[in-house]
Structure 1
Amino acid sequence: MYLRAVHAEHNIATLHQFIKTNPLGIFTTALESKSFPFIQSSHIPWVLDVDTSRDETHLGVLRGHQARANPQVKAMIEHLKSGTGDESDSRSDRQIISRDVMVLFNGPAHHYVTPKFYRETKPATGKVVPTWNYSAVQVYGRATIFHDSKASLTNAFLDRQIRDLSQQSEVDIMGHKDKPWEVDDAPTSYVELLRKAIIGIEIEITDIGGKFKMSQELSAGDQEGVVEGFEALGTDAGAEIAKTVREKGKLAAT
């Protein structure tokens, strides 16, 4: 991700909150394979764990799961069984992918920005061009894969994962604080059957970066024109962009 200084976000707490608010991340791997594409991506909702007891800043750990039938999963298991995986933990139920993986989280709104919004620069010089406003957080790390459905470690990881993800989604996303849906609401045999069809993924984050490209580089007059232009659209996306442009503009000014 190209992080121009004016658009870059370095505050780890802000980046963590972005992930928690936008948990659907694009999980990308690049693994040599004779059977599957080298680069593969999948949309996965994640749970973020952060150890706040550490003296130093903890970048966090992502937990997720994927369908065992997913070609990306098949490529990862093939990679591990080929002996190219990290043998620091050689148990079949828990192995580490030897290559870095990447997860990209996108913000809730993005939009084309017309030069017609630039009420200061456009009439003065005409030196304006279209662009696109968006926000994103990108993380890199090493992925531990739990893929042996008969192993107790895999079952324990998946049980915790699906319960935590359900709780997070029901309460934080749906707002069901009083009576959220719980895994135990479904028949045990049904849950067990579905659990055998997934694998677990745990990523220790080694690098994280964020980008809010929200017109911070513009003059105050042009920024106000962008805010007014998006508000005038009368859409949810326009309102979200206008709000973020105003917030990031104030931060950039200070």
Structure 2
Amino acid sequence: MYNPSSFAIKDLPDMQQQILATRLAILVTHGEQGLQASHIPVLLDAEQGPNGTLYGHFAKANPQWQELQNGAEAMVIFAGADAYVSPGFYPSKAEHGKVVPTWNYVAVHAYGVAEVFTDADRLLNLVSALTDRHEAGRTQPWKVADAPVDYIDGMLKAIVGFALPIQRLEGKRKLSQNRSAADIAGVREGLAASPDAQDQALAHLMR
């Protein structure tokens, strides 16, 4: 992605934190079928490999997993909060009027070549870990073991798992760093006053 140095996230733990905070990632490949993208939840093992390893699964009916099996490089997008920035937020608008709208956002892109697997035990561990992560905090969290064993066995035959060691990471945190201190404060205050949760999240990041 286009990533000027003033916006680039250079700290690995910061980028990994954004990965962990993203509930649904976008996995993109390019192969014989052209560009393909799937929206999938993934797990990050931050300790496996220099940048960590991502784990997830596809429906077996989704042909994109075959691109991974064939060695296609994958890009996994982890989008954070984003917000429209109105020129009206800038105090400099009143001074010279030379302002235009923009967008503030946080994003991390992970790249690598994945290993595909269909081993039932490995898939069971993966879907159990994914379930436990997203059920955490519920009053009565559901577990994979709550479903009949034969039903889960059948469901596992309908998916394909992958492990993607992250070979390259790019992180971007565009928070008006290229503006004056007064304009940054104006954007922060404008977004904080918005009723939109993402606008407020961006304002919090700008503190």
Q: TM-score, normalised by structure 1?
A: 0.77
**CA distance, structure 2, for counterparts of residue 216 and residue 160 of structure 1:** 42
Answer whether contact 1:216 1:245 (CA < 8 A) is retained.
no
Find the counterpart in structure 2 of residue 65 from structure 1: 57
Q: Give the deviation of 1:179 after TM superposition.
A: 4.7
Find the counterpart in structure 1 of residue 199 from structure 2: 238
135, 149, 158: which one aligns with 1:197 = 158
Q: Confirm whether residue 102 of structure 1 aligns to residue 93 of structure 2.
A: no
**Matched residue SS, 2:178:** coil
Deviations 1:11-36 (A, max 9, x none): 1111111111114111011112xxxx
Find the counterpart in structure 2 of residue 219 from structure 1: 180
**CA distance, structure 2, for counterparts of residue 58 and residue 110 of structure 1:** 28
Answer whether contact 2:30 2:67 (CA < 8 A) is retained.
no
**Matched residue SS, 2:167:** strand
Q: Give the deviation of 1:245 after TM superposition.
A: 2.1
Q: Confirm whether residue 155 of structure 1 aligns to residue 120 of structure 2.
A: yes
**CA distance, structure 1, for counterparts of residue 18 and residue 37 of structure 2:** 20
Find the counterpart in structure 2 of residue 24 from structure 1: 24
Unaligned 5+ residue runs, structure 1?
A: 86-96, 148-153, 247-254
How do 1:13-52 residues align onto structure 2 when only pairs under 5 Å count? 13-32=13-32, 37-51=33-47
Find the counterpart in structure 1 of residue 90 from structure 2: 118
Please report the RMSD computed on the Cα atoms of aligned residues, expressed in angstroms.
1.7
Unaligned 5+ residue runs, structure 2?
A: none
**CA distance, structure 1, for counterparts of residue 189 and residue 170 of structure 2:** 29
Larger radius of gyration: 1
**CA distance, structure 1, for counterparts of residue 76 and residue 195 of structure 2:** 32
Q: Confirm whether residue 188 of structure 1 aligns to residue 188 of structure 2.
A: no
Q: Confirm whether residue 127 of structure 1 aligns to residue 98 of structure 2.
A: yes
Deviations 1:154-204 (A, max 9, x none): 112201100111111112xxx23x753211011111111111110001101
**CA distance, structure 1, for counterparts of residue 129 and residue 156 of structure 2:** 14
Q: Return the letter of the residue paired with 2:7.
A: H
Find the counterpart in structure 2 of residue 228 from structure 1: 189
Q: Give the deviation of 1:234 after TM superposition.
A: 2.1
Q: Return the letter of the residue paired with 1:64.
A: G
Q: Which has the higher contact order (CA 8 A, sep 6+)?
A: 2
**Matched residue SS, 2:193:** helix
The structure with more strand, counted as a fraction of residues: 2
Q: Return the letter of the residue paired with 1:216.
A: Q
140, 147, 155: which one aligns with 2:111 = 140
Find the counterpart in structure 2 of residue 150 from structure 1: none
Percent of matched pairs sharing the same residue: 40
What is the aligned residue count?
207
**Matched residue SS, 1:222:** helix
Q: Give the deviation of 1:224 after TM superposition.
A: 1.1
Answer whether contact 1:166 1:182 (CA < 8 A) is retained.
yes
